[in-house]
Amino acid sequence: MKSDFSIKEDVLAELSWQPNIDETQIGVIVQNGVVTLSGIVDTYSKKRTVENAVKGVSGVKAIAEEITIKYGMQHKKTDAEIAKIAIDALTWNSSVPQNEIEIKVENGWVYLSGEVEWDYQKTSAKNAIEDLNGIHGVTNSISIKPIVKPIEIKDKIKKAFERLADLESKNITVEVDGHTVKLKGKVHSISERDEAKKTAYYAPGVYEVKNELEIA
């Protein structure tokens, strides 16, 4: 079991490896495997990059993210401007169905709602927005339309896990209740846990995934 000191060293090393992140601007505190991140960055995409980098570090059990975004004057945008570029971003994205997504912007925060048929469409909508200049965050409340019956969901998910080279599927138990999937077992990192959840969402008929996987 890694010590908090070792985890902190690995987190700092991983942040220094990121080309667009100045690790000296990020504060890192580790206690019982929980990493608290603080500091200031100038874009939301950098904030996500820091969080995703830390998720992949072995031994990290959870992340408390307290990083704030401070845009320079040249990148500050009004809610109306953000709404316009968000609409354009979704229009240009071929993975997002047209006229199915509603956008609301409040104090720089983008709220997405509406209905789509597949989880990858919901994810693509959020990904299209996250890298836009001027935003402070994205709340993705898009729902999945009920287009298929929840038949053979468990088998499809297990086979998908087996195809992933970086995921030890034998350590993951899949439980299905209607359109809800529950994942139990142990994985080696937060990134593996997130990958398992994302893969489960790709199965037809899955509307919710309860991720109870533990970090070994």
The pLDDT, as a whole number, for residue 131 is 81
SS3 for the chain is CCCHHHHHHHHHHHHHHCCCCCHHHEEEEEECCEEEEEEEECCHHHHHHHHHHHHCCCCCCEEEEEEEECCCHHHCCCHHHHHHHHHHHHHHCCCCCCCCEEEEEECCEEEEEEEECCHHHHHHHHHHHHCCCCCCEEEECCEECCCCCCCCHHHHHHHHHHHCCCCCHHHEEEEEECCEEEEEEEECCHHHHHHHHHHHHCCCCCCEEEECCEEC
114: left (phi over 0), alpha (psi -120 to 50) or beta: left
Q: 79 near 107, Cβ under 8 Å?
A: yes
The phi, psi pair for 149, rounded to 5°, reads -80, 145
Q: What is the mean pLDDT of the chain?
A: 87
State the Cα–Cα distance between residues 72 and 80, nearest whole angstrom: 18
Between residues 114 and 179, the one the model is more confident about:
114
pTM: 0.56
Provide the pLDDT confidence category of residue 210 given band limits of 50, 70 and 90. very high
- Residues 160-186, mean pLDDT to the nearest whole number: 85
Query: Which structural domains are found in the chain, ordered by start?
Result: 4-69 (3.30.1340.30), 77-144 (3.30.1340.30), 153-215 (3.30.300.130)
Could you report the per-residue pLDDT of 81-124, keeping only the tens digit for each?
A: 999 999 999 999 988 988 889 999 998 899 999 998 888 899 99
The pLDDT, as a whole number, for residue 74 is 62
The pLDDT, as a whole number, for residue 72 is 65
